[in-house]
A and B are shown apart, each in its own frame.
Chain A
Amino acid sequence: MSFSNPEVFWTLLLLIPAGLLLYTSHLKGRHELLRIGGAWRGHRLQSVYLLKGFFSGLLLLLTFLLLIAAWAGPSWGRAPVEEPEDGLDIALAVDVSRSMTSTDVPPSRLDQARDVIRMLLSAFPSARFSLVAFEGIGVTLTPLTPDKGVLARWVDELGPNVTTAPGSNLADGLEEALRTVGYTSVHHRVVIFLSDGESRDGNLLAAARKAAAAGVEIFALGFGTAEGGKIPDGDGFLKDDFGFPVQTKRNDGTLKMLASETHGRFFLGADRASQRELQDLLSNLANPASRGGVGLQPVPRYRVFLFLALVTLSGFLLVRIVPWKEVF
Chain B
Amino acid sequence: MLTFEEPFYFVLLALVPLLMFLKHRWKGRGGRLSFPLGVWEGQRFRPGIAGMRLVMATSNLALWLTFAFLVTALAGPSLTRQEKIYLNAGADIFIVLDESPSMAARDFPPNNRFTAAKDVIRRFVQGRQNDQIGLVSFGRDAALRVPLTLDYTYLLKRLDDLQVMSLGDGTALGMGLALAALHLQDSTAPQRVIIALTDGVNNSGEIQPSTAVDLIRSLNIPLYLIGIGTNAEVPLEVTDPKTGMAYSGTMEDGFNEDFMKSLAVPPLGAYFSAGSSGSLESIFLAIDSRETATKRVKVEVHNDPLFGSLLVAALASLGLFFVLRKLILKEIL
Measured CB to CB, the residues of A under 8 A from B are 11, 14, 18, 21-22, 25-26, 28-29, 32-33, 36, 45, 49, 52-53, 56, 60, 63-64, 67-68, 70-71, 73, 130, 140, 142-147, 149-150, 179-180, 183-186, 302-303, 306-307, 309-310, 313-314, 317-318, 320-324, 327-328
User: Which chain B residue lies CB-closest to A70?
Assistant: B311
> What 7 additional pairs, Cβ within 8 angstroms, besides A11-B315, A144-B149?
A25-B332, A60-B322, A184-B300, A186-B87, A303-B76, A310-B12, A314-B15
What is the bound-complex CA distance between A49 and B30, given in angstroms? 11
What is the bound-complex CA distance between A322 and B22, given in angstroms? 9
What is the bound-complex CA distance between A328 and B34, given in angstroms? 9
What is the bound-complex CA distance between A29 and B32, given in angstroms? 12
Instruction: Pick out which of these stretches binds chain A: B150-158, B228-236, B246-254.
Output: B150-158
Instruction: Pick out which of these stretches binds chain A: B100-108, B140-148, B169-177, B207-215.
Output: B140-148
Q: How many A-B residue pairs have CB under 8 A?
A: 141
Is there contact, CB below 8 Å, between B74 and A306?
yes
For this complex, 23 residue pairs linking A to B, each with C-beta atoms less than 8 Å apart, are A25-B326, A26-B332, A28-B332, A33-B332, A45-B33, A53-B333, A67-B315, A70-B311, A71-B311, A140-B154, A143-B146, A146-B132, A184-B83, A184-B300, A306-B74, A309-B314, A310-B12, A314-B15, A320-B23, A320-B31, A323-B31, A324-B30, A328-B31
Number of B residues, CB within 8 Å of A: 57
Partner of A180, one of B22, B30, B151, B311: B151
Among all A-B residue pairs, the 4 with the closest Cβ atoms: A29-B332, A323-B30, A143-B151, A320-B31
What is the bound-complex CA distance between A238 and B198, given in angstroms? 51
Instruction: Pick out which of these stretches binds chain A: B65-73, B258-266, B271-279.
Output: B65-73
Is B328 an interface position by the 8 A CB rule? no
Partner of A309, one of B70, B85, B86, B183: B70
Complex interface: chain A residues within 8 A of B12 (CB): 310
What is the bound-complex CA distance between A68 and B333, given in angstroms? 23
Within the complex, the shortest CB–CB distance from B75 to chain A, in Å, comes to 10
Within the complex, the shortest CB–CB distance from B68 to chain A, in Å, comes to 11
Complex interface: chain A residues within 8 A of B315 (CB): 11, 64, 67-68, 71
What is the bound-complex CA distance between A328 and B32, given in angstroms? 6
Known: A70-B311, A303-B74. A146 touches B333 (CB 8 A): no
Partner of A310, one of B70, B84, B150, B331: B70
What is the bound-complex CA distance between A11 and B315, given in angstroms? 11
Complex interface: chain B residues within 8 A of A56 (CB): 333
Complex interface: chain B residues within 8 A of A184 (CB): 83-85, 300
Is there contact, CB below 8 Å, between B67 and A313?
yes
Complex interface: chain A residues within 8 A of B148 (CB): 145-147
User: Which chain A residue lies CB-closest to B149?
Assistant: A143
Partner of B311, one of A18, A67, A186, A320: A67
Measured CB to CB, the residues of B under 8 A from A are 6, 12, 15, 19, 22-23, 26, 28-33, 63, 66-67, 70-71, 73-74, 76, 83-87, 132, 134, 144, 146-151, 153-155, 183, 186-187, 300, 307-308, 311-312, 314-315, 318-319, 322, 326-327, 330-333
What is the bound-complex CA distance between A29 and B29, given in angstroms? 19
What is the bound-complex CA distance between A289 and B234, given in angstroms? 61
Complex interface: chain B residues within 8 A of A71 (CB): 308, 311-312, 315
Is there contact, CB below 8 Å, between B30 and A144?
no
Complex interface: chain B residues within 8 A of A145 (CB): 132, 147-149
Within the complex, the shortest CB–CB distance from A152 to chain B, in Å, comes to 11
Main secondary structure of the interface of A (DSSP, over half): helix
Known: A71-B308, A328-B32. A310 touches B147 (CB 8 A): no
Is there contact, CB below 8 Å, between A21 and B326?
yes
Is there contact, CB below 8 Å, between B151 and A130?
yes
Is there contact, CB below 8 Å, between A328 and B33?
yes
Complex interface: chain A residues within 8 A of B85 (CB): 184-186
Is there contact, CB below 8 Å, between B19 and A314?
yes
Known: A313-B67, A328-B32. A186 touches B322 (CB 8 A): no
Complex interface: chain B residues within 8 A of A28 (CB): 330, 332
User: Which chain A residue lies CB-closest to B15?
Assistant: A314
User: Which chain A residue lies CB-closest to B5?
Assistant: A303
Within the complex, the shortest CB–CB distance from B302 to chain A, in Å, comes to 9
What is the bound-complex CA distance between A219 and B71, given in angstroms? 38
Instruction: Please indicate which of the listed interface residues A45, A68, A322 has the most CB atoms of chain B within 10 Å of its own CB.
Output: A322
Is there contact, CB below 8 Å, between A310 and B31?
no
Is there contact, CB below 8 Å, between B147 and A147?
yes
Partner of B333, one of A29, A73, A307: A29
Is there contact, CB below 8 Å, between A323 and B28?
yes
Is there contact, CB below 8 Å, between B146 and A306?
no
Partner of A321, one of B30, B71, B308, B326: B30
Is there contact, CB below 8 Å, between A321 and B23?
yes
Within the complex, the shortest CB–CB distance from A312 to chain B, in Å, comes to 11
Within the complex, the shortest CB–CB distance from A55 to chain B, in Å, comes to 10
User: Which chain A residue lies CB-closest to B85?
Assistant: A184
User: Which chain A residue lies CB-closest to B153?
Assistant: A179
Known: A32-B332, A67-B314, A67-B315. A142 touches B83 (CB 8 A): no
Is there contact, CB below 8 Å, between A321 and B26?
yes
Within the complex, the shortest CB–CB distance from B35 to chain A, in Å, comes to 8
